[in-house]
Homo-oligomer: A and B are copies of this chain.
Amino acid sequence: MTKIQLYDTTLRDGMQGEGMSLSAQEKLRVAHRLDELGIDLIEAGFPSSNPKELELFSLLAAEHFDHAQIAAFGMTRRRGAGAAEDPALRTLAQCFAPVCTVVGKTWALHLHKVVRVDREENLRMIDESVAFLAGEGKHVIYDAEHFFDGFADDREYALSCLRAAARAGARTVVCCDTNGGTLPHSIATAMGEVVAAMAPLGVAVGIHCHDDAGCGVANSLTAVAQGATHVQGTINGYGERCGNANLVSVIPNLQLKLGYRCLSDAQLASLAPAAHFLDELLNFTPNPDQPYVGRNAFAHKGGMHVAGVNADPTTFEHIDPAVVGNRRELLISELSGKGTVVARAREAGISLHDQGAARVVERVKEREHRGYHYEAADGSFELLLRKEAGEYRQLFRLESWRAIVEKRADGRVETEATIKIWVDGERYVRTAEGNGPVNALDRALRDALTETYPHLGEIDLVNFKVRILDEAKGTGAITRVLLDASDGDQVWGSIGVSENVIEASWEALVDSLEYGMQVSTRTAASPGS
């Protein structure tokens, strides 16, 4: 089994993506998580570019990594000057990182129109920059920018750029599809020639793809099939424009379907949590449809799927979800039957007999007809199960609530909510302001409840979606609110439906907190069980 060297550039190329922002400390956490995952090389950034990067490199220098090596990134020397005099290359040479990745030009169009360097000088820039860093004892990786465009334009020149790097001492030469528009068949042709041309030079060949044509993953696999043994990409495909090749898809494809070795089995089983960790840290909602690791990636709807999966999971699943740290999701919808409900109850540790399950199915159907939709509201669904099984505990009894929004002539908007509730025989009246009526209700309710349930303070509302059903009824339409909440460990969804957006939100909010409390009770109880 050929071992593939995994090169993660989340912290450098990935950071070019929209909305990507991490402090030096957060980048350190990412590096450790990538190390645990089993990434071989972690590109941390340009050590020379700014104080934040300098801080990151000095932090990294003091860290221990079990497996991964840190790579520092830079460009070939400026034209017409010596490599040893180039300040950026000198910083690279002095940086603690054992691996240096140098990017250089390959495509004549760029030489003419962007950097205004002639072809021969470009080859000297590659040669001298790589030789300088190799001479300083660095493990050098050469990134050939716009390689595939260059290859299509002038095959021989593109190969001569790679040869210059290889002869100057690069350990790996990487073909980059920088503009991201190359398709697999072109990647295959070019990589076949590259691998053949580099073989006599004893240099490894790598691939670096982007997803502008929706083929970033397939392009990476194609390159490996042609003999590349080093793959660059980012976690979750972060990166500018349409993103970089997504390592979270590339890795299981290589290892589970193509017979290459990337990670240990235990590391592969931490892929989904690692992918979600990165999203959480970056404050992105994880893409529920992401291959292998998304919440929906192994979701089944409808009776036939559920029956098939029960008989033999391979009937409807291309891999065992546990292998990548994901799990099967049996979606609850009006199409689902009793079997799905029973299976979900079992998962949640709720004992529900057949008759109860049948009643839940009826209940779900009736509620979906009114606009409920339990697929994304696993928390609300579990509360339905608990109510049916007699395992439901109400957090409080409502006397009333009131939300007031006022707009003044000066444009100021004020929002206030008052709730009156009973908890354990005690009456609580609380008023809170908020930046909207639901926010104010949330605050007032928590204010009243946290005295009795301090754990509620740990629950955050992380996602709030409003959908108007039957939009064509204008403001008289039914509103469906979906809330996601998290206690920092688990995320759950809840739902509310009403003609009134505030009432729908309230319903989802209450489900959200009630579910959160059932979970905490379950967790607290588990050591004794």
Contacts and interface: CB of A to CB of B under 8 A. Distances in A.
Interface stretch (A66-74, A130-138, A177-185): A177-185
A252 to B, nearest CB: 8
Contacts of A314: 109
B297 A242 contact: yes
Nearest to A466: B466
Interface stretch (A77-85, A216-224, A519-527): A216-224
A522 B491 CA distance: 53
B18 A438 contact: no
A502 B437 contact: yes
A299 interface: yes
A356 interface: no
A318 interface: yes
Main secondary structure of the interface of A (DSSP, over half): mixed
Given A240-B296, A436-B499, A375 B442 contact: no
In the A-B complex, list the 6 residue pairs whose CB atoms are closest, starting with the nearest.
A181-B318, A461-B474, A218-B218, A214-B249, A466-B466, A214-B217
Interface of A: 16-19, 21, 23, 25, 109-110, 113-114, 179-185, 211-215, 217-219, 221-222, 225, 237, 240-243, 246, 249-250, 253, 257-258, 283-285, 288-292, 294, 296-299, 301, 304, 307-308, 311-312, 314-319, 331, 373, 375-376, 398-409, 413, 415, 434-439, 442, 460-477, 479, 483, 498-503, 505-506, 509
23 contacts: A18-B331, A18-B375, A109-B314, A183-B221, A211-B291, A212-B318, A213-B253, A214-B246, A214-B292, A218-B218, A237-B289, A241-B294, A242-B294, A243-B289, A400-B408, A400-B409, A402-B407, A405-B502, A436-B479, A436-B499, A464-B468, A465-B468, A466-B479
